[in-house]
A and B are shown apart, each in its own frame.
Chain A
Amino acid sequence: METQTIAAKRDEIATPARRAFPYHVLEKPGDNLVDRFLEAFAWVLEYTDYKPLLDSYCRSTAKCNRCAVACPILLASGDPRDIPCYRTNLLLDTYRRYFTMGGWVKARFTTPFELTEELLYEMGDVFYRCTVCRRCTRSCPLGFDHGLITRLGRYLLSLVGIVPKALQVSVQEQLEGETHNTSKVSRAGLLDVLSFLSEEMEESLGVKLDFPTDETDRDYVFFCAVSDYLMEPDTLMGNAAVLYAAGDWDRWTIGLCNYDGINYGLFYSDWHLEQIIKRLVAEVDRLKGRSVLIGECGHASRAAHDFIPTFMGQRAPPVRNFMEYTLDCLRAGKISLDPDVVTERVTYHDPCNLARSGWIVDQPREILRSFCRDYVDMTPKGADNYCCGGGGGLVSIDELHDFRMEIAGKVKAEQIARTGADIVVAPCANCKKQLKELVEHYEIPCTVVGLHDLVLRAIEIPGGKSPVERRAEAALFAI
């Protein structure tokens, strides 16, 4: 990652003229940008359901600026271009002028608003300064969903070729590439990782487990952000430990044709969103699985949980996040967590995609409180939390690193520092990456882990080593 950032900087120096976008795009935005944008807009209005949304937003916006105090980006940058309502109006004005009767009439009598290439460039900039965290929605008396508009703006821009290369390349690999996943983890590579994990677990937990792959007729088909296989072994081992300790080892499987829960379509494109969802469900169908179990990833969970029913209707398999499953096991007494192992101060970061809708707020807290001695909450929390600053796909775009650190994540960093926590739990691949960079950047003395990383430390393994024993071993190892 580091090298790419440097490459990006070199690129800046090489082209003294200000780049149109703060991120790399795959193709050069060609000629007739405005016309092509309007045409794409027209087709989108024709075939999708966004028109009523735009109509009612155009009609009822109060322009009260309440959303402005809610947005962490604006709080940190103070740049008026980051006012949610201002950004949204770029798109609404375009819609008003070119696609409504009123706009047409008005254009006959006054100097009309005109969509220019510069405005499109500005959209390309500001729509990727919003992390689609939707915190502002809860502050708007009319419930305006700026996240929805940002996403629509990005979708329209992507139709004329303006889309961050980082997102596009990943999605392309996922849909058309050989490995069919965003991190290019081949099937052999995955099997390697799994056998490595089972060796690790044998050594540390004292039980020999083979990860079930491509088993049919199981209750849970497991998907995580594929990058977890490369970067988050502890989270995965924590997941596996819960499944084993709860006696559910024969009830789950990892599919070998599709093992990536990531869905960047959620961030910028309806088409990609739907295709990726369909591929995921196809894998579950192939394995005759009965439900989808999503690992620790906010956007993957929301994409599956919210959009499988949307696109699949009656045929939608049920979707659960792993934390819901773990809590059920805990409540049913199927697993027990040792309250003496985790003694550090722990706090919990709510991933926007899980918490904003109120879906997963209390579950992880109940798990953590059950075994962490010193648990503290951030304020605000839950559905009112602040975004980590890397939401909406921003975390994958290396060129936006400085923006993410200095602006998007600033409020979050202050919030974390205030808790005085030693461990920040963030059950999301995106949040984890952003927060790790953030605590390093602001030199906050704490570590960022997944929730199951902690569970792994505290869980009692039937027939294996006890948590206290494991802690002693780990301490020895550390010396």
Chain B
Amino acid sequence: MTIDRWIEFAKGPLFAVTFMVMVLGLGRQVLLQFYFLGVKKGRRLRNVHWKQVARETSSWVVPVRHMEPGTGLFSVASYLMHVGVLLVPLFLVDHIALWNAFLGLHLPAIGEGTADALTLLTISCAILLLVMRLLRSRHRLVSRPADYLLLMAVLLPFLSGYLASHPSVNPCPWNVMMLTHLLSAELLFVLMPFTKLAHVVLFFFDRISVVHWQLRPGAGDRVAEALYRKEVGAR
């Protein structure tokens, strides 16, 4: 198969399949959260101050008040990267046709100049984050390989997309770059539900740690009994 045929394949069936994986996978995560809340915690949810949870969660959408000394550069870079990661894939002119074809969505487009600027911003922020994670010992200590790899996986579609649409800086043939772009984006779709990228939906649930403080009545008793039974059995 030629590269162009591959591109057709990646734009067509592969896109549909990977996109479905993402939607179903993330949907499963959301359903699990609701299952946990509704069935497991049930009535105890009444003890939770939902307004406060909502206020806290929304305060992170524009986290100005969370800017603390010592978190500056990392936080700003991370925030800007998220802005780009959310806006560019959705509203880029070239993507809009894709959304239209697959989902029947008519999204407004952002101007090409804005899109370019956002993409470059995202790329530079992602690289900056990667470098900081590599160089700062405190970050290295809490990082697992996945943390580096996922950041690179996010970086790739942006980098390849930018190069593909700017022939003057693109070192490889257009179609190779385009294929890279498509495949790396699809890789992200697949990774999303199964890795920490799932925070795209879990973000809205993680702040409910107050819910987790609603311990299950009688659970402590049952644990103690189970351990005691075993101890007695062993004698």
Contact = CB atoms under 8 A, between A and B. Distances in A.
B52 A271 contact: no
A270 B46 CA distance: 20
A358 interface: yes
A271 B44 CA distance: 18
Given A40-B227, A271-B223, A357-B210, A70 B68 contact: yes
B207 A143 contact: yes
Given A63-B142, A311-B217, A143 B137 contact: no
A323 B222 CA distance: 37
Given A50-B212, A83-B142, A141-B60, A60 B224 contact: no
Contacts of B71: 65-66, 69, 139
B212 A148 contact: yes
Contact of A68 (B138, B209, B222): B138
B138 A59 contact: no
B43 A313 contact: yes
Nearest to A57: B206
A61 interface: yes
Contacts of A76: none
Interface stretch (A7-15, A41-49, A400-408, A414-422): A41-49
Contacts of A43: 222-223, 226-227
Contact of A65 (B32, B142, B219): B142
B212 A274 contact: no
Contacts of B29: 59
Contacts of A64: 74-75, 78
Contact residues on A (Cβ < 8 Å of other chain), bracket: 35 or more
B212 A139 contact: no
A148 B223 contact: no
A141 B63 CA distance: 9
A358 B138 contact: no
B128 to A, nearest CB: 13
B212 A53 contact: yes
A66 to B, nearest CB: 5
A159 B215 CA distance: 17
Interface centre among A62, A64, A89 (most CB of B within 10 A): A64
Counting chain A CB atoms within 10 Å of each CB, which of B68, B138, B141, B142 scores highest?
B142
A63 B150 CA distance: 12
A112 interface: no
Contacts, number: 162
B196 interface: yes
A89 B142 contact: yes
A371 B219 CA distance: 47
Interface in B51-94: 52, 56-57, 60, 63, 66, 68-71, 74-75, 78
Contacts of B70: 68-69
A235 B46 CA distance: 34
A422 B224 CA distance: 48
Given A44-B223, A80-B137, A62 B199 contact: yes
A86 interface: yes
A309 interface: yes
A4 interface: no
A63 B230 CA distance: 38
B212 A49 contact: yes
Nearest to A55: B32
Contact of A66 (B36, B75, B198, B218): B75
Interface of B: 29, 32-33, 36, 40-41, 43-44, 46-47, 49, 52, 56-57, 60, 63, 66, 68-71, 74-75, 78, 133, 136-139, 141-144, 147, 195-196, 198-199, 202-203, 205-210, 212-224, 226-227, 230
Ordered nearest first, which 3 A-B pairs have the shortest CB separation? A271-B220, A143-B207, A145-B209
Given A48-B216, A310-B213, 17 more contacts: A43-B223, A43-B226, A47-B226, A49-B212, A59-B202, A60-B202, A66-B75, A69-B69, A69-B71, A139-B68, A143-B209, A271-B224, A272-B220, A274-B215, A310-B214, A357-B210, A358-B52
21 contacts: A43-B223, A48-B223, A49-B41, A49-B212, A56-B205, A60-B196, A60-B202, A63-B133, A66-B75, A86-B141, A139-B68, A141-B63, A141-B66, A145-B212, A148-B212, A270-B223, A274-B221, A310-B44, A310-B213, A310-B215, A313-B217
